[in-house]
Amino acid sequence: MAFQTLADLGDLTGRRAVIRVDLNVPMADGRVTDDTRLRAVRPTVDAVLAAGGRAVLLAHFGRPKGKVVPEMSLAPVVPALAAVLDRDVAFATFDDALPDLDVVVMENTRFFPGEETNDTDLAKRFAALGDVYVNDAFSCAHRAHASTEGIARLLPAAAGVTMAAELAALEAALGTPERPVGAVVGGAKVSTKLAVLEHLVEKVDHLIIGGGMANTFLYAQGRDVGASLCEKDMADTARTILTKAQATGCTVHLPQDVVAASAFAEGAPHRVTGLGDVGAEELILDAGPETAEHLKRVIAACRTLVWNGPLGAFELKPFDAATVALAREAAALTISGALVSVAGGGDTVAALAAAGVRDAFSHISTAGGAFLEWMEGRTLPGVAALEHQADESSVA
């Protein structure tokens, strides 16, 4: 994966860098409630300023669908960003002259209908704000928008510090990984992660399937899953994936025992049982302790691990046990240097945080759709545009 970094842009003294960032943060009563994405902006802004440049930040907020929606203005985000950056930050609309300040946040790019259609004229308008372009928003890289793809073809372009770290981690996970490679894929439905599963069985040595989708695979093997969440119409698809895995040498790991409950609720009456003894009215809400121990041995034999999705209903105690046990094992292996661990997706990040190991993984991606599309093996337009720039530079 070839792309330019900030160092490739040369001397930035007196130059403006148009930086695509992710400021789509949660808010309540006009205040930012989680500044995780804002903190991810700082390394690149600091690097640009240290190189003598100025930063013009492009970002979207919400889904205004090409219209000016005051409630979706980025203006309320600016004070929180200024606090994170520990410096003054100006705000400007696209009708304003750029303020004479080192860091400027532009208004919501999605107020323009041409943003999501990757309109060339809008991309030119964005490009006119600066001298170079930096994409530091991996979470938006799966969108071919004017601020992520179009502009990257109009200015010298590079990956920001956070983006470069993300791409390096992903390359280490599935591009050129140390083997054996394991993958944990959980979640409610096979249908939402079908492309991920089909891609991974060609890429990894061990595929661990958990959550509700594991029930579909168990059903496809003739197991009774009681009243559990199960896409019975996906049984043929599940069998096809299992056959493909066998052909590619990928070992698929499904629950060997389960935690069956009487209701989908916190603390619901439950029991550990074998696969042949799930009651007709029972719900499988977690993998059992025997499975958890088996999976810990599986990842201990791996050198690389990719994780997307929990093994059970982790948001309801005690049905988080298998997810927590495996997450803590992965964290311990990572800390010891035995494992490279990369995880992503909203539920995954929440589950790892609940297990107290979020900071112990090699890399945690806060991207949702972009991370999932990367796991599917799809080309991300925002990344492809940076690779195109690297190719053009090598030719020049």
Is 344 annotated in a binding site? The answer is no
Beta-bridge partner residues of 363:
342
Is 278 in contact with 258 (CB distance < 8 Å)?
Answer: yes
Is 61 annotated in a binding site? The answer is yes
Is 87 annotated in a binding site? The answer is no
- Element spanning 158, H or E: strand 157-159
> 3-state DSSP helix/strand/coil percent for the chain, to nearest 5?
45, 15, 40
Is 60 annotated in a binding site? The answer is yes
Is 348 annotated in a binding site? The answer is yes
Is 110 annotated in a binding site? The answer is yes
Is 108 in contact with 60 (CB distance < 8 Å)?
Answer: yes
Catalytic site residue 222? no
Catalytic site residue 358? no
Is 273 annotated in a binding site? The answer is no
Write the CB contacts of 146 (distance below 8 Å, at least 6 apart in sequence). Answer: 109, 112, 114, 115, 117, 118, 119, 120, 122, 123, 126
Is 270 annotated in a binding site? The answer is no
Beta-bridge partner residues of 31:
28
- The end-to-end CA distance of the chain, in Å, is 19
Residue of 145, 144, 140 whose CA lies nearest to 162:
140
Catalytic site residue 346? yes
Spatial separation of the C-alpha atoms in residues 231 and 100, rounded to whole Å: 57
In order of 167, 220, 354, the CA distances from 54 in angstroms are 24, 57, 38
Residue of 370, 313, 327 whose CA lies nearest to 345:
370
Catalytic residue among 66, 368, 369, 377: 369
Catalytic residue among 189, 244, 296, 358: 189
Is 346 annotated in a binding site? The answer is yes
E-strand stretches of 163-274: 181-185, 206-209, 251-253, 257-261, 270-274
Is 314 annotated in a binding site? The answer is no
Catalytic site residue 37? yes
Catalytic residue among 175, 346, 356, 378: 346
Is 182 annotated in a binding site? The answer is no
Is 347 annotated in a binding site? The answer is yes
Beta-bridge partner residues of 287:
258
Catalytic residue among 37, 54, 203, 223: 37
Is 22 annotated in a binding site? The answer is yes
Q: Residue 98's Cα: distance from chain center in Å?
A: 33
Binding site listing for ATP: 193, 315, 345-348
Just list the catalytic residues: 37, 189, 346, 369
Binding site listing for (2R)-3-phosphoglycerate: 37, 110, 143
Binding site listing: 22-24, 37, 60-63, 110, 143, 193, 315, 345-348
